[in-house]
Amino acid sequence: MKRTGFLMGWLVVIAQLAGASTNNLVLNGSFESGFSSWNAPGAPAVQYTIISNAVHGTVAARITSRASLSQCPVQNITSNLVAEGNGSPLGIGFSVNLPVDAHVRCYLVMTDDAGQRSEYLAEKMVTTTNAWVRVEGGKVLTWQGTLSLASLRFDIGQIVEAVNPTVLLDDVRIIRDTDRDGLTDDVDASPTNADNNSNQLPDGWESRYALTNSTGTSDFDGDGFTDVQEYWAATNPTNSLSLPGVPVNTNATASVRALLKYLALLPSRATNRVVVGQVVTDTATDYTNQVVALAAQTGKWPAMLGVVYDMINGPINHTAITPHATNYWNAGGLIHVQWNPDNPWTGGFSGDTNGIDFAALFTTGTQSHSNYLAYLDEVAVGLHDLDNAGVTVILRILNECNSRQNWYQRRARNEFIPLFRWTYDYLTRTRGLNNIIWVYDSLDAPHPTCPVTYYYPGDDVVDIFGLNNYATDWALPFDIDRLSRDYPKPLAFPESAARVDGSFTNVHYITAISNQFPRVSYFSTYNSFVTGGGSITKKYAIIDNIDPAGLLNHPWVVTREELLTLTHSVGNQTLTLNWNGGFLQSSTDLTNWNEIVNAPDPFVEPLGPITNKFYRVKRW
């Protein structure tokens, strides 16, 4: 086993197969021979032409008059894929040029002895228009028995809006990537070694940023963060203005800044790198039965407490929540608040989808506009109460935006994105809330028909990229680690569950994170609850599944107890600080701290004339 520290957590380095191909499995991928080897769905109504505007070679494909997402060139690569071998690790890439924002996906329709399925190879929400954009991915393709079909296809367009723009397509490649480092074997100097210079950085990432001399601990752009830290934070290591964990609100509190930086850097750590949380929708019974009872059973508290402002057929529930959230924060925990607004046209709860009229909602003076402002003002009261209590809030609004349950979900992008940005602007600028970390949130299950990146509202209003992961056994059919790297934000699973019957082994959360989702900074399991008129119990909570102690004692996990002890390492020196409570972000009161002598950490701030001995240290 080789500890790579990236991509898939722990990987077996695969020896390059004797005779393994470095050829492109896609024939005529740059369209130099016109559309030879390609099929043209929808032609002649859909027009397929060759043009000289190319990103590779001399020509590219142009597809116009498209009536559906899938009317793009198609190629049967079955024989080439079979020749490459079952279980081959492959690198995928292609270039597109689009006149409008659109989602782009390359996939295989595969048929084997188990039936037919789709395998996603590479996808991206393209928001750069009238310019060539590279879309890349990686996949280990396996099949059962005989592979009878492997049809390479593309879906390109505005999915919800049913806009299918003209597409320029070029340089389609599927080539073996033996070590899965992001460099295909034809261009990889060491195709069997993902980290050729042993610096804890994948060779493909180093190549992308031309970091030929990085040691991993070096800081190429001189911004105070190592190249390894920037890799995990998905920031640009060559741009000193691209920094991990910088809040979008320029007036954010010191506590917000420190906490967000802490979350951004967690995945670069060897241990204590994933914050675990528990959501409670009822702060009375759920908190007692699923949080307090968990601590009693395991001796550990979840680091994060998730609470819910919106209640079905009830008012915004901040009054009952504030004391619980404040107490949990004061005990050393983190607070995550969910708010899904009621229907502003009917006054019904968020699941009421009647009367939707976004034009009216965005028009000052309409009833729906006034209703939404009233909702925002009520939420602001609760958030201000938490601010006054010193609580930093991780706020998740308009969640699961690509789903279909609530009025704001699965809308046109020019409806949802302005709604998110209006909500952010009002609570931040109009109501002056500076204690908020802002979360964009989607859902795993709808991804095939409405991708998790489709409604991302912009880097300037999002602090954390969130995905609610309810996939069975946490086996996602798409690469969220790669998708989230388009956004320089921490990755989180704000709501999680893997089975409904209580048969899930909790430690598998960390196994899945280390193998599939190594950029995840925190996850919170949803609470267990009864539905179906009392006949169906959903056992989602940690305590209602197998081996809670195994999860909370795992070396990768951060519990509330671990948040209370911080260790900063500088060179060969280590500074350990034991925190015993209190509000530290603006306090010079050191009564809650142990004595600190000769602190070397540059993030430690000396206090007045006694700089030789005592230091004030950020809580995170």
CATH assignment of the domain containing 529: 3.20.20.80
pTM of the model: 0.88
Query: What pLDDT, on the 0 to 100 scale, is given for residue 49?
Result: 98
> Which pLDDT band, with edges at 50, 70 and 90, does 310 fall under?
confident
Q: Which tokens hold the place of 472?
A: 């069975």
Domain contains 163: yes
Of 434 and 8, the one with more pLDDT: 434
Are 542 and 294 spatial neighbours (Cβ–Cβ below 8 Å)? yes
Residues 582, 611: one domain?
A: yes
Residues 341, 487: one domain?
A: yes
Query: What pLDDT, on the 0 to 100 scale, is given for residue 314?
Result: 66
- Written as one string, the DSSP assignment of 161-211 is TTB---EEEEEEEEEE-TT-SSS-TTT-SSTT-SSTTSSSS-HHHHHHHT-
Residues 39, 142: one domain?
A: yes
N- to C-terminal Cα separation, the chain = 33
Q: Give residue-wise pLDDT tens across range 153-196.
A: 999 999 999 999 999 999 999 999 999 999 999 999 999 999 99
Q: Which tokens hold the place of 263?
A: 């979350």
498 CB-side CA count, 13 A: 20
Residues 489, 598: one domain?
A: no
Domain contains 245: no
Residues 291, 342: one domain?
A: yes
pLDDT surpasses 90 at 10: no
Last residue of a domain, one of 139, 156, 176: 176
Average pLDDT, the chain: 88
Query: What pLDDT, on the 0 to 100 scale, is given for residue 602?
Result: 34
Are 494 and 306 spatial neighbours (Cβ–Cβ below 8 Å)? yes
Q: Give residue-wise pLDDT tens across range 190-221.
A: 999 999 999 999 999 999 999 988 898 999 99
pLDDT surpasses 70 at 564: no
Query: What pLDDT, on the 0 to 100 scale, is given for residue 562?
Result: 87
Domain contains 382: yes
Considering only 136-140, 304-308, 356-360, 527-531, which range has the smallest mean pLDDT?
527-531
Number of domains comprising the chain: 3
Give mean pLDDT, residues 585-598.
Answer: 39
Tell the residue number behind the tokens 């924002």, with chain if given.
101
CA-angle at 444, arms to 408 and 519, nearest 5°: 115
Domain contains 192: no
Residues 429, 297: one domain?
A: yes
Please name the helix (run of DSSP H) or strand (run of DSSP E) that holds residue 373, with its range, or none.
helix 367-388
Give mean pLDDT, residues 449-477.
Answer: 96
Provide the 3-class DSSP secondary structure of residue 438.
Answer: strand
Burial class from Cβ neighbours inside 10 Å (0-12, 13-18, 19+) for residue 528 reads buried
Residues 552, 577: one domain?
A: no
Residues 365, 487: one domain?
A: yes
Whole-number CA gyration radius for the chain = 25
Domain contains 527: yes
- Written as one string, the DSSP assignment of 546-614 is B-HHHHHT-TTEEBHHHHTEEEEEETTEEEEEEB-SS--TT----TTB----S---TTPEE-GGGTTT-
Last residue of a domain, one of 176, 202, 235: 176
Residues 376, 518: one domain?
A: yes
Residues 330, 308: one domain?
A: yes
Query: What pLDDT, on the 0 to 100 scale, is given for residue 20?
Result: 52
Are 584 and 607 spatial neighbours (Cβ–Cβ below 8 Å)? no
314 backbone φψ class: left, alpha, beta (φ>0; ψ -120 to 50):
beta
Residues 461, 569: one domain?
A: no
Are 527 and 278 spatial neighbours (Cβ–Cβ below 8 Å)? yes
pLDDT surpasses 50 at 514: yes
Q: Give residue-wise pLDDT tens across range 324-380.
A: 999 999 999 999 999 999 999 999 999 999 999 999 999 999 999 999 999 999 999
Domain contains 378: yes
Q: State the Cα–Cα distance between residues 526 and 534, nearest whole angstrom.
A: 18
Query: What pLDDT, on the 0 to 100 scale, is given for residue 279?
Result: 97
CA-angle at 169, arms to 103 and 453, nearest 5°: 15
* Cα 525 to Cα 243, 277, 298, 494, 574, distances in angstroms: 29, 6, 16, 8, 33
Q: Give residue-wise pLDDT tens across range 210-269.
A: 998 889 899 999 999 999 999 999 999 999 999 999 999 999 999 999 999 999 999 999
Enumerate residues 6+ apart whose C-beta is below 8 A from 254.
Answer: 585, 586, 618
Q: State the Cα–Cα distance between residues 317 and 355, nearest whole angstrom.
A: 24
pLDDT surpasses 80 at 522: yes
pLDDT surpasses 80 at 21: no
Domain of residue 592: give its range. 564-616
Q: Give residue-wise pLDDT tens across range 42-58.
A: 999 999 999 999 998 99
Q: What percent of the chain has pLDDT over 70?
A: 87
Quick one: which of 234, 306, 266 has its CA closest to 540?
306
Residues 602, 501: one domain?
A: no
Query: What pLDDT, on the 0 to 100 scale, is given for residue 535?
Result: 79
Of 600 and 431, the one with more pLDDT: 431
Q: State the Cα–Cα distance between residues 530 and 323, nearest whole angstrom.
A: 25
CATH number at residue 172: 2.60.120.260
Are 185 and 191 spatial neighbours (Cβ–Cβ below 8 Å)? yes
Last residue of a domain, one of 562, 586, 601: 562
> Which pLDDT band, with edges at 50, 70 and 90, does 402 fall under?
very high
Q: What percent of the chain has pLDDT over 90?
A: 82
pLDDT surpasses 80 at 600: no
Domain contains 6: no
